A and B are shown apart, each in its own frame.
Chain A
Amino acid sequence: MPAKELPWVIKYRPKRISDVVDQDNAKREFIAWLNQWLRGKPDKKAALLYGPPGCGKTSLVEAAANEYNLELIEMNASDFRRRQDIERIVKIAATQMSLFGRRGKIILLDEVDGISGTADRGGLDAILDLINTTRHPVVMTANDPWDQKLRPLRDASKLIAFNRLTETVVAQVLKNICLSEGIECEPQALRYIAKLSEGDLRSAINDLEAIARGYGKVTLSLAQMLVRRRDREYTPFEALRNLFMSRYAWQAKQAVTQTNVDYETMLQWINENIPNQYTDMEDIWRAYEALSRAALYLGRIKRTASWDLLSYVFDAMGPGVALARVKSKYKWAKYNFPQRILMMAKTKQVREIRDSLAKHLASKLHVSSRLVKSEFIPILRIIFLNNPRYAARIALGYNLTENMIKYLAGPRSNEVLRYLNELKKGKALPSEETQIAITKTVKTVSEVTTTRTTRRSTRTRRRKGGRGGQTQLPF
């Protein structure tokens, strides 16, 4: 391809460090760090360059590689998924020799914040391995380095901040390109492009090129007509709006991929809001059927690590849901935050107690904790809610904690705890002739979990008969 055919973002890529505009602090820190490496003793083996898109992070690394005559080994966010790819890079990094003679190397991992939390767990670990074993400088770039999941990488790296480029700086670069290309341009037009780029030089150069190649000149009116704000990531609310307004499959797919939440969270947002948007029951069912398929593919992906299925997840949750509409009218709908996420947060503590109880009993009963939850806990609840004295003996038998007892006994936990205390002190339980209290109305499990009312059920005191009597209880 002849040079003039190269896209301008590549053609005008900085060749030397001094060509990188602005970012003097970042340049100084980066060069100091690189020099440490070349002398063989870096403080940190990796550097994490962070800042908004198009501010020169990757360009600086490329320019430095060029200037220091280092071989640049580059890897993109999308590659991090595959551990074997990273391991290939790790091998290269661990060897001293380069393919092209005795040149040094610099390893660039672009957009590490593109690693998604849970799915790429392995990828993150692989990068940490790489940093530990590398014999060459490792440079990473990220837009947002403060994400929780990047913390291990932050700890292992020298952090170098890049600033958002100012309009003036961006406009100046555009002007230089116009001069060098011999393109007639209005300063207000360059200013306008620079403003809409929001400091993203790469997008500004692309916009400039689009106008210049199409019209041979760059005027303000052309810029106003042609330049739009960049595609950006949408909040889940906007993404839902875009999804449900889609008339074509591609729009719907775009809607679910261009969001600032991951696809599992997006799945929850759609799950929550299908009935808010669609009014016809058949449409609702079709949409859920599509969502069900999406969740099914996602399950297969997780189980078998078949990441090539991911596209089908988006097909089902995007076009599948959007095109489920047949009878429902387009309407403005109010979308909700996924209630399940809220519920899970609210009930976290209770669920933790339940899970620990299930686990605790599972080993003693030789069953899985799932089976404890479905078969034993309901039985225990009936006992704990209706017969605190007997419950206390079971609590003793299984060494249940106070929290577990509260979970099982709900409003009657004080009674159970009191009996348990007596048992532990070794007080003999009252004899069979003693009056005991049992609830007349049998409490249901749901009464306890849903309504924590203070309403006490009517209790009757019953005199217990002798052996073999009608009200014999098992203690």
Chain B
Amino acid sequence: MSSMAELLWAEKYRPRSLDDIVNQEEIVTRLKKFVEEKNMPHLLFAGPPGTGKTTAAHALAHDLYGENYQQYLLELNASDERGIDVIRTKVKEFARSRVPGEIPFKIIILDEADNMTADAQQALRRLMEMYTGTTRFILIANYPSKIIEPIQSRCAFFRFTPLKKEDVVNRLKWIAEQENVAYDIEALEVIYEVSEGDMRRAINILQAASALGKVTVEAVYKVIGLAHPREIREMINLALEGRFTEARDKLRQLMVEYGLSGIDIIKQVHREIFGSEIKLPEQLRVLIADYAGEIQFRLVEGADDEIQLNAFLARLALIGKKVKG
């Protein structure tokens, strides 16, 4: 019966061992050295989403401790844990117990570490020092520049790069074959183009497209259209037409009904601004993108997502009015 149960392919086909990882060769080689030596420093994995950071961390632990590696591993996500105090408690709890085995340390994976404030990172640094005898940290971040210097200097740094077209397409092909899914090779190439080297996104699109039938170029575009709520583009167009309150209603729909965060929305807006569907004089795209960047910065620091995005929409409405007038 369990064979009838299905998983998301991004998880199902996640490489378990370092040997299974087909890209990031240089990183894998260095990590395999740690397995050989049965020792490692604190690590910092940085790079864009979907490039294998979390996978590499798990695979490393797997190769170090064997199949039951989970008990040697504490996995925390900085953006889901409520503040450094919670993290501190969990780390303390985890580091206290010793687990027998030939590896004298346990591993703590802290994902999205760049979402922590500088203060929290200072506290984290002290934690890393305190438990350095019994634990190793693997910090994972999209933006290494948001990790404070003292932490960076305590970690071996690994930079993950967006996956190459060939790697993504081959992987998608392989998965499709495992799943007995019919596909057009052009469709897989389109998936690579739109996922921008993000393997997780690429696999997700493949799975959704295959749920619709054969994976064709058309199906892929359909999935992309559905996955990105069209309300985002509608919202931008309404604002540019000067219909500010209607644009604001769309924004609320996106936030409340879809549960998108302000950052998610502004990032998708940014993508749309340079797309051909939005009609704008070219120099205004630059102007709007610049303001979008400012708003994204405020979203990170601010207390209320909707207010920040309303400021953005109001600016769009103003720009739209000037274009027309």
Contact = CB atoms under 8 A, between A and B. Distances in A.
B270 interface: no
A474 B79 contact: no
B51 interface: no
Nearest to B249: A339
B245 interface: yes
Interface string A274-298: 0100000110110111011011101
Given A302-B303, A367-B77, A393-B5, A275 B245 contact: yes
Contacts of B1: 423-424, 426
B309 to A, nearest CB: 9
B47 to A, nearest CB: 15
Interface string B1-24: 100111110110000000000000
A384 B245 CA distance: 33
Contacts of B128: none
B293 interface: no
B182 A292 contact: no
Given A370-B79, A474-B181, A396 B5 contact: yes
Contacts of A343: 252, 256
A369 interface: yes
Interface stretch (B30-38, B129-137, B163-171, B223-231): B223-231
A103 interface: no
Interface residues of A, number: 83
Nearest to B307: A295
Q: Main SS of chain A's interface residues? A: helix
Interface string A439-475: 0001011100110000000000000000111111111
A282 B227 contact: no
Contacts of B252: 339-340, 343
Nearest to B79: A368
Contacts of B315: 285, 289
Contacts of B272: none
Contact of A300 (B181, B214, B301, B308): B301
Given A446-B231, A470-B214, A474-B210, A397 B7 contact: yes
Q: Main SS of chain B's interface residues? A: helix
B302 A292 contact: yes
A382 B314 CA distance: 32
Given A288-B311, A475-B6, A281 B75 contact: no
Contacts of B253: 450
B99 to A, nearest CB: 21
A4 interface: no
Contacts of B242: 281
A284 B180 contact: no
Given A299-B302, A386-B211, A397-B7, A362 B223 contact: no
Given A285-B315, A285-B318, A375-B200, A299 B301 contact: yes
Contacts of A375: 200-201, 204
Nearest to B212: A386
Contacts of A373: 259-261, 264
B213 interface: yes
A364 B11 contact: yes
A304 interface: yes
B179 A340 contact: no
Contacts of B54: 366-367
Contact of A281 (B112, B244, B301): B244
Contacts of A370: 79-80, 261, 264
Contact of A469 (B182, B208, B231): B182
Given A284-B244, A298-B303, A365-B11, A289 B311 contact: yes
Given A284-B244, A284-B317, A423-B1, A473 B210 contact: yes
Interface string B45-59: 000010000100010
Q: Nearest 4 A-B pairs (CB), nearest first? A: A393-B6, A299-B303, A397-B5, A298-B303
22 contacts: A284-B314, A285-B314, A285-B315, A288-B310, A295-B304, A302-B303, A351-B259, A355-B259, A358-B259, A362-B77, A365-B11, A371-B49, A374-B260, A376-B8, A379-B8, A381-B226, A383-B208, A438-B213, A445-B226, A468-B182, A469-B182, A472-B182
Interface of B: 1, 4-8, 10-11, 49, 54, 58, 75, 77, 79-80, 111-112, 117, 119, 179-182, 200-201, 204-205, 207-208, 210-214, 222-223, 225-231, 242, 244-245, 248, 252-253, 256-261, 264, 295, 298, 301-304, 306-308, 310-311, 314-315, 317-318, 321
